Structure 1
Amino acid sequence: MDQTGVIAGPPKSPWGSVAPSAPSCSLADVMSEQLATQLEEENHDFPTLPDPSLDPLSVDLSEAETTSDMVLAKMLQLQFDKEFDDQLKREEKKFNGDSKVSISFENYRKVNPYEGSESSEDEVDWQDTRDDPYKADKPVITPRKGFTGKGKNITTKHDEVVCGRKNTARMDNFAPEVLVGDGLGMDLKLSNQVFNSLKQHCHSEQRRSARLHDKREHSTAEQAVDPRTRLLMYKMVSSGLLENINGCISTGKESVVFHADGGSFEDLQVPGEVVLKVFKTTLNEFKNRDRYIRDDYRFIDRFSKLNPRKVIRLWAEKEMHNLTRMRKAEIPCPEVVLLKKHILVLSFIGKDHVPAPKLKDVKLSSDDMRDAFYMVLHMMQVMYQECKLVHADLSEYNMLWHEGKVWLIDVSQSVEPTHPHGLEFLFRDCRNVSTFFQRRGVGEALSVFELFNTVSGLDISIGAEENEAEFIAEIVALEKRNEDHVQRRGKKNFPVSMEDEGPPFKPDADD
């Protein structure tokens, strides 16, 4: 190849354009004053390079000349440090992920994060207010507290302002539901006393909420049921016993009553409209429940106060047996369809999804009210003498008016006259009935003492002053004698047994 056309020239530098080399000169020329003056004039034309002692971050190196190796090295080092910091950020984010506990690589970064102004809010200290538009124009005054003399300008962690701001920042850790402000224009400071009070209150509320949630999940609340009860109700619908459950129609201290449409189930005759009486699985609202069932000889061997769920099932079974006795004696009362654990399926007293009104709410004429009194008197006599039962909670709240008759409901607490407190319960029923009908203007209504003797068939003397305390004292003495007599006879000689009392009832394996 012919290289005659190649023009020799100075070698190219990879660092940029290179100034032409100065012509060589002798030592005498160098020492001459004329050459020194010429070099000084030529130096005024060169660009002024940045001071190598300055921080490379504070100098805009993009506009400087790159003819100096030092300047170029600093530019490359700065670019390398930024890339290294970016890689650290990615590794830090990848390593921490969504974890609440994070590890920071802040100490390994090359560039100060506060100078780049690219750091997140979490990397900036909560006391830093340089970028706060509401505080930028306010001077920072160092509080003078805690020290005197030479150290009067020293601020420690116990300072009131510093500690107050720190308490405010710590509120987000344990009480996110407490609003402490968004930080813009609000310099909220919580004292230690207020902070500790709020912390204790929040922890107490969290524990109370957890207890209520646990109680709601494991017990039947008002107008609601627990998961076990919902499962039983669902099985009744899926088996065809019920067409659907329409909703709650009544609530009480011991149970919740739901209206449902009856279906067909094996050989059972299910009415068109029924009610589900769901006994509450908590004893908080009816704590003296065991008083009515503990001394009942029918359940004395199965009573267990330590197992509330079994007590509730016995309570439902007891109402089933009591209603069956009353139906055999032709007392107007709901008919038992099925008993499943603590759910009792009964016939509906009402029409077209409208329950029959209570006797306290219905407005009757004087003749109908007088007839209602005699109906109640007759039913109390039949219950006591034929069914061997005392209602124990008889009042205008547990009597319904339907089709021109009085119907009795809620007999789960009913006991037999041989119960240690049976006569006391009967006297209380007589007091409620007599008081109600006398207030309604029924002149034929008997007094509480006459009504008690008429129903029970006893002849307890009534003094001229009709002292209720003396009357009750005689009743208690009579109950004591009857209890001793019953203990001598034994429970096997009771006149009424539990055989053939109630519809099909199949206890589960866990019963």
Structure 2
Amino acid sequence: MDRKVWGKVFDKQTLMVLLRLFNKGIFDRLEGEISGGKEARVFMATNDEPLAVKLYRVEAPAFETIWKYLKGDPRYSNIGKNRRTVIELWVRKEFSNLSRMYAAGVSVPRPYAFHANVLVMGCVGGENPAPQMKHLKGVQRSEELFDELVSQVERTYQVARLVHADLSEYNVLMEDGRPVLIDVGQAVDIRHPRADEFLRRDLTNLANFFKRPESEVEALVKRVKGRETGEETGE
């Protein structure tokens, strides 16, 4: 039988991973929890600046969803269904996606390190973690903010060659009025067979939140995709 998972996150192997990252100087202190969900919990950590440490649950109930996103991505093959192996591959994928998006100039947390089921990145908002975009009301949901988000989706597609695939008001943080895209583990290469479907879903979610007519979505898709080239980025 598998060893008992302590608190669904802090199993012995996860504790060893945290110790490894600590010994490498990635962070010097792990502090309170920032957020928690079905798949992972995020904790504040410190070094020269505030960091966010994301610990994926090996026994995540959303395992099947995670596996499906990996299966269709051309960057990964022969995935199998061993839980720990799949979760660790998912963390590698999220770090890869973050790195591609950050290098492309997309507004995402800065990636720092990963190992096994743990991902370390910059903490959006610093010592006072930034709130989700879902909390914006009325006039705060401005035309300028909507256009900026579509521009971020466009840069993700055209420069990073990725589609976020889970973009909504829940996966955008507001830092000093600036949107920051988070939770990019689901992001897929634009060669993914469902990339167009995911792109339309992302843009539909944004249109709905900003109370824009869904009839605009196709025009937004064309804007985001622009003049596609045959040049693609590997991992």
Scaled by the length of structure 2, what TM-score is found?
A: 0.89
Alignment of 1:447 onto 2:216:
yes
Is 1:400 equivalent to 2:173 in the alignment?
yes
Of structures 1 and 2, the one with the larger relative CO (CA 8 A, separation 6+) is 2
| Distance in structure 1 (CA, Å) of the matches to 2:97 and 2:24 | 27
1:342: Cα distance to partner? 1.4
Within 5 Å, give how 1:93-492 maps onto structure 2.
217-218=4-5, 221=8, 224-262=9-47, 271-301=48-78, 303-305=79-81, 307-352=82-127, 354-363=128-137, 365-366=139-140, 369-438=142-211, 447-457=216-226
Q: Would the alpha carbon gap of residues 405 and 277 (structure 1) be closer, same or farther in structure 2, given more than 3 Å must change?
A: same
Aligned partner of residue 28 in structure 2, secondary structure: strand
TM-score calculated relative to the size of structure 1: 0.43
Structure number having the greater strand percentage: 2
Consecutive unaligned residues of structure 1, counting only runs of 5 or more, are 1-213, 263-270, 459-492, 499-511
User: Which of the pair has more CA radius of gyration?
Assistant: 1
Q: Secondary structure at the residue paired with 1:350?
A: coil
Contact 1:219 1:280 in 2 (8 A): no
State the identity %: 33
In 2, Cα distance between the equivalents of 1:240 and 1:320? 18
CA displacement 1:52-106 (0-9 Å, x = unmatched): xxxxxxxxxxxxxxxxxxxxxxxxxxxxxxxxxxxxxxxxxxxxxxxxxxxxxxx
Closer/same/farther in 2, CA of residues 284 and 494 from structure 1, 3 Å limit: farther
* Matched position secondary structure for 1:360: helix
State the Cα distance separating 1:364 from its structure 2 match.
Answer: 6.7
1:219 is displaced (CA, Å) by 7.0
Alpha-carbon shift at residue 279 of structure 1 (Å): 1.4
Name segments (4+ residues, structure 1) moved above 4 Å.
none
Q: 2:232 aligns with which of 495, 501, 508?
A: 495
Secondary structure of 2:91's partner? helix
- 1:494–1:318 distance in 2 versus 1, CA, 3 Å: farther
Q: How does 1:30-41 map to 2 (within 5 A)?
A: none
* Matched residue type, 1:237: F
SS at match of 2:161: coil
What secondary structure does 2:55 align onto? strand
CA 1:377/1:234 → structure 2, altered by over 3 Å: closer, same or farther?
same
Map Cα deviations across residues 168-188 of structure 1 (whole Å, 9 max, x no partner).
xxxxxxxxxxxxxxxxxxxxx
C-alpha displacement of 1:309: 0.8
RMSD over aligned Cα atoms: 2.4
SS in 2 for 1:258: strand
Q: Distance in 1 between matches of 2:231 and 2:7?
A: 36
Aligned AA for 2:107? P
- Structure 2 gaps of 5+ residues are none
User: For residues 277 and 342 of structure 1, what CA distance do their matches in structure 2 show?
Assistant: 8
Q: Would the alpha carbon gap of residues 287 and 219 (structure 1) be closer, same or farther in structure 2, given more than 3 Å must change? A: farther
**Cα 1:379–1:314, aligned 2, differ >3 Å: closer, same or farther?**
same
Looking at structure 2, the residues matched to 216 and 431 of structure 1 have their Cα atoms a distance apart, in angstroms, of 43
Residues 330 and 446 (structure 1), Cα distance of their counterparts in 2 relative to 1, 3 Å cut: farther
